[in-house]
């Protein structure tokens, strides 16, 4: 009796368990299934399994791809004029070459403005009783040594008296059309709804344009085009008067000849490239009247190239004038060390059908306010699927407080220190040596605890200018007493700087295990820089993957 009850209980329990399992019920073969029906069912189940397995494989592949596809965030840090923007351009040229070259024509306006500003700097420097050499535009590396003697008025002794340029008035008269062109280029580079473009300076009170001055470039009927342009610098922030034009050479933006350093700068959101993009003038002049072909910029009578082309011989004469060179040397104004230096290539730059080269774009100087971000995805076999974000963060002293928010989640920092600037001072503060500023800035970066686990790559930049400066006889020991009587050649000096920056990292880093990668660079040299950036890229990727435990 007990046995029957146990068997009955087991059957009931077994039935209950079986009926409570929906999967078992679903997989149970149909009752009274024939052999043919069974074969069909098995074939259908096999096909369904293949589809299911395929979906599972896709899901696993997507998860794997998502895991492998990582984002690398790189910050470009350094003082103003250290080469950050040029380094960003090199990344673009390497990884987005089509987009980089599509924008080359748009850079024509910037290159023109750089050339015009170089001429202005020369004219201001050779103006009789003009201001000192260190009161120069921000768009070039400040050339005034920190150790130079000054008079009680604060002006360098070389600025108080010096070689006069006999043909100053001739140069001034011939180059006056460039003043109107400068204003026009500023207007073109700043869109009508922008208020971040900066101007060279306010027009002196009571100043009037010279006789015969063409105001057609300032806007319709000689008036302003309505663009809201402001001056943004460490010293001045004020609107440009309607219908105003840059002050004449030597006036420096004020009636007393005193002018603070200012630079053409645009906010990073400004779409300035539209103004000079290839084909931007086709709606205005769709075809050449004589040939019937699509018109180029050289067919547009309002294009700035015509003014530059007409003034090219006068610009060359100014740059070749020996008395001008002597006066620039007396004021220690080395334009060759500036970003946006094109004075040795005036005929090519001012040709009517001039098309900027990659090197021209790399050299072009346009100060951008804010943070510039560039994204690209590596397509190499070993690096496929890795997204890169490169941030060019403003390096002027009044922009450095904006760095901190970008430290979070940073994978690497490329810090640029222009070691050729050992005899120069900051544009923002003539009492601070640029190399000293770079070292202090470097110290603050390497000692930052938020960056303790971030890879750091150091570019000791502008080595080509350093070598040229040393070859010209400029002695490092005159500006850095600690260098003492070491050899004043490139190998010794560059090694000294490498050890100096390396020692700062070793002394102040919160992470003793962090490696420091140091490169001697000239980021305008594409051939050398491509190799360096490739090595840096591989180092960053390797360290990033290690941190993710993927290798």
Span 439-478, pLDDT tens digits: 999 999 999 988 888 889 999 999 999 999 999 899 999 9
**Which residues line the annotated binding site?**
362-368, 461-464
Structure confidence at residue 383 (pLDDT):
57
What is the rounded CA–CA span in Å between residue 254 and residue 231? 14
Span 251-287, pLDDT tens digits: 544 333 334 445 656 555 456 666 556 555 444 444 4
Span 285-305, pLDDT tens digits: 444 454 444 456 677 888 889
Decide which of 346 and 226 is more confident: 346
Span 89-147, pLDDT tens digits: 998 888 888 888 888 888 998 999 999 999 999 999 998 864 444 444 433 344 444 43
With 0-12 / 13-18 / 19 or more C-beta atoms within 10 angstroms meaning exposed / middle / buried, residue 284 is exposed
Q: Which two tokens stand for residue 482?
A: 């600690």
**Which residues line the annotated binding site for GTP?**
362-368, 461-464
Locate tokens 């190239």: which residue?
A: 305
Q: Judge whether 129 and 201 are in contact, CB under 8 Å.
A: no
Summary mean pLDDT of the chain? 73
**Which residues line the annotated binding site for Mg(2+)?**
368
Q: What is the mean pLDDT of residues 168-190?
A: 89
3-state secondary structure of 72: strand
What is the rounded CA–CA span in Å between residue 437 and residue 421? 10
Decide which of 530 and 227 is more confident: 530
Question: 3-8 contacts: CB < 8 A, separation 24 or more?
Answer: none
H or E segment to which residue 392 belongs = strand 387-393
Q: Which two tokens stand for residue 93?
A: 């040229």
Span 486-544, pLDDT tens digits: 999 999 999 999 999 999 999 999 999 898 999 999 988 888 888 888 888 888 877 77
Distance of CA 33 to the CA centre of its chain: 75
Q: Which residues contact 320 (CB under 8 A, 6 or more apart)?
A: none
The model's confidence at residue 550, banded by pLDDT at 50, 70 and 90, is very low
What is the rounded CA–CA span in Å between residue 475 and residue 467? 11
**What are the CA-CA distances from residue 412 to residues 153, 364, 408, 443 (Å)?**
46, 26, 11, 16
Structure confidence at residue 203 (pLDDT):
32
CATH of domain 72-97+370-547: 3.40.50.300
| Cα dihedral across residues 324, 328, 330, 334: positive or negative | negative
Structure confidence at residue 23 (pLDDT):
55
Write b or e for each residue in 110-129: b if 16 or more Cβ atoms lie within 10 A of its Cβ, otherwise e. bbbbbbbbbbbbbbbbbbee
pTM over 0.75: no
Query: Domain segments of the chain: what residues?
Result: 2-65, 72-97+370-547, 105-356
Helices marked H in 433-525 — which ranges? 434-446, 463-471, 490-508
**What are the CA-CA distances from residue 438 to residues 20, 89, 119, 197, 395 (Å)?**
75, 22, 29, 27, 10
Range scoring the smallest mean pLDDT among 42-46, 160-164, 389-393: 160-164
């Amino acid at each position: 009796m007990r046995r029957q009850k146990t068997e009955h209980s087991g059957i009931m329990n077994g039935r209950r368990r079986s009926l409570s399992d929906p999967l078992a019920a679903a997989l149970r073969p149909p009752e009274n299934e024939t052999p043919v029906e069974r074969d069909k069912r098995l074939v259908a189940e096999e096909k369904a399994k293949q589809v299911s397995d395929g979906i599972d494989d896709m899901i696993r592949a997507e998860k794997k791809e998502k895991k492998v596809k990582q984002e690398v965030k790189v910050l470009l840090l350094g003082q103003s004029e250290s080469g950050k923007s040029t380094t960003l351009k090199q990344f673009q040229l390497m990884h987005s070459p089509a987009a980089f070259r599509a924008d080359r024509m748009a850079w024509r306006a910037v290159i023109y403005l750089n050339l015009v500003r170089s001429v202005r700097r020369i004219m201001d420097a050779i103006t009789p009783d003009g201001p000192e050499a260190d009161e120069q535009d921000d768009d070039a590396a400040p050339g005034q040594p920190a150790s130079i003697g000054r008079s009680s008025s604060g002006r360098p002794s070389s600025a108080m008296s010096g070689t006069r340029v006999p043909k100053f008035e001739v140069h001034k008269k011939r180059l006056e059309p460039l003043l109107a062109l400068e204003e026009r280029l500023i207007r073109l580079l700043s869109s009508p709804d922008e208020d971040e473009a900066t101007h060279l300076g306010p027009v002196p009170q009571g100043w009037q344009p010279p006789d015969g001055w063409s105001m057609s470039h300032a806007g319709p009927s000689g008036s302003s085009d309505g663009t809201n342009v402001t001056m943004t610098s460490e010293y001045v922030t004020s609107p440009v008067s309607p219908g105003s034009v840059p002050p004449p050479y030597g006036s420096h933006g004020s009636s007393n000849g005193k002018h603070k350093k200012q630079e053409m700068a645009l906010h990073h959101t400004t779409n300035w490239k539209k103004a000079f993009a290839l084909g931007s003038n086709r709606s205005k002049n769709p075809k050449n009247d004589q040939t019937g072909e699509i018109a180029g910029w050289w067919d547009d009578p309002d294009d700035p190239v015509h003014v530059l082309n007409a003034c090219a011989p006068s610009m060359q004469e100014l740059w070749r004038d020996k008395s001008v060179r002597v006066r620039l040397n007396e004021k220690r104004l080395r334009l060759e060390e500036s970003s946006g230096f094109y004075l040795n290539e005036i005929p090519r730059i001012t040709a009517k059908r001039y098309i900027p080269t990659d090197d021209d774009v790399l050299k072009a100087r346009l100060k951008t306010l804010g943070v510039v971000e560039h994204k690209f995805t590596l397509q190499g076999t070993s690096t496929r699927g890795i997204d890169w974000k490169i941030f060019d963060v403003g390096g002027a002293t009044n922009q450095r407080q904006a760095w901190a928010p970008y430290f979070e989640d940073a994978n690497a920092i490329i810090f640029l220190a222009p070691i050729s600037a050992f005899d120069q001072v900051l544009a923002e503060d003539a009492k601070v040596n640029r190399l000293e500023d770079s070292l202090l800035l470097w110290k603050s970066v390497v000692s930052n605890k938020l960056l303790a686990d971030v890879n750091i790559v150091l570019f000791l930049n502008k080595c080509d200018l350093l070598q040229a400066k040393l070859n010209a006889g400029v002695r490092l020991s005159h500006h850095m007493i600690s260098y003492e009587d070491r050899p004043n050649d490139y190998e010794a000096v560059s090694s000294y700087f490498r050890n100096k920056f390396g020692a700062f990292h070793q002394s102040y880093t919160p992470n003793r295990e962090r490696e420091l990668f140091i490169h001697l660079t000239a980021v305008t040299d594409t051939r050398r820089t491509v190799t360096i950036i490739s090595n840096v890229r591989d180092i960053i990727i390797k360290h990033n993957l290690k941190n993710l435990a993927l290798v």
